Amino acid sequence: MKILDNIADLKKEISSLKGSIGLVPTMGALHKGHQSLIEKAVNENDNAIVSIFVNPIQFGINEDLDKYPRCLASDSKLCEEAGVKIVFAPKISQMYAEGKENLTLICPPYSAVDKLCGKSRIGHFDGVASVVAKLFNLTKANRAYFGQKDAQQLFIIQKMVRDLNFDIEIIPCPIVREEDNLALSSRNQYLTKSERALALNISKALFEAKKLAKTNTITKRAVIDNSLKIMEGLEVEYIEFVDINTFEIQDEINKNTLMLIASRTPETKTRLIDNMKLFD
């Protein structure tokens, strides 16, 4: 496995690869959620590439860019053991050679970003779409693997690929959870012991909502009220319901409903997201 930190070396390696290329874009601090994407990419392609880049342009000014966990050595070990061919962990100066303030951005439309995470994280999805587009071009990947944990991100990347005719297949991958159902996240490392216990109530609210949805008469308001009760102690940013295919906000729950939650923990103010389809 090659660990590359610059574009010139990446280009050289890519030109010598034979067969299909599967890309897994990440910000590192790899866990079993990332690992499931990586294993799928290894299994479904002749070559798997994992990018590890804490992308500064997708962080807001008061967000956790500086403290985001960075652990290239253990990340590389996980990739090597999974059978990855290339880890691409570029320096910021490689990705934004002319300065990140001078970058040509890909800006997903208002209709896709003016809700859910995009509402509080202004410019976040411009940063995500732009870096992902660069990674698609640099790696010449045939397939790219994204987790359903970041559902709005996945929707926006799929839309970008359709809208801009990228020649790449986007493979959605299911959310990986701890045994107690907490969705795995690199940010779980920030949690104190008591916050971790509280954080469990996010997935609990989703699983309870799924149960409630089985009763025909359930309303959106009733699900929200029940979720708020379960998540008491967390600072809820949103509890929302979208059509899984269009990402339009729904007034009523139906068979296409994806329920999404974002909330912060009370002490470390860690922002956690999770989601679940309410019907199988």
Q: Supply the minimum distance, in Å, between the C-beta of residue 143 and ligand AMP.
A: 13
Looking at the Cβ atoms of 155 and 241, the one nearer to ligand AMP is 155
Instruction: Give least dist CB 57 to ligand AMP, A.
Output: 13
> Are 14 and 139 a contacting pair, CB within 8 Å?
yes
Residues 34, 214: Cα–Cα separation, whole Å: 31
User: In this chain, which residue has its C-beta nearest to ligand AMP?
Assistant: 147
Between 203 and 257, whose beta carbon lies closer to ligand AMP? 203
Phi, psi angles (nearest 5°) of residue 225 = -60, -45
The torsion angles phi and psi of 243, rounded to 5 degrees, stand at -75, 125
Say if residues 240 and 260 touch (Cβ distance below 8 Å): yes
Q: Which two tokens stand for residue 278?
A: 């309410």
For residues 215, 237, 25 and 199, what is the CA-based torsion angle, rounded to 10 degrees? -70
Minimum CB distance to ligand AMP smaller for 240 or for 253: 240
- Residue among 209, 181, 211 nearest 196 (CA): 181
List of residues contacting ligand AMP (CB under 6 A): 26-27, 33-34, 36-37, 146-147, 149-150, 173, 175-176, 183-186
How does strand 47-52 pair with strand 21-26?
A: parallel
Least separation in angstroms between CB 146 and ligand AMP: 4
Q: Are 274 and 213 in contact (CB under 8 A)?
A: no
In the block, which residue shows the tokens 């874009």? 25
Q: Which is nearer to ligand AMP, 84 or 183 (CB)?
A: 183
Beta carbon nearer to ligand AMP, 184 or 198:
184
The structure tokens 């999770």 sit at 274
| Amino acid at position 195, single letter | E
Q: Which residue lies nearer to ligand AMP by CB, 96 or 146?
A: 146
In eight-state DSSP terms, residue 183 is B
Catalytic-residue membership of 34: yes
| Amino acid in the structure at residue 136 | F
Minimum distance between the CB of residue 27 and ligand AMP, rounded to whole angstroms?
Answer: 4
CB of 221 to ligand AMP, least distance (A): 29
Rounded to a whole number of angstroms, the minimum distance from the CB of residue 215 to ligand AMP is: 29
Directed axis angle between helix 124-139 and helix 151-163, to 10°?
A: 60
CA distance 203 to 208: 8
Q: Which is the catalytic residue, given 22, 26, 28, 34?
A: 34
Catalytic sites, residue numbers: 34
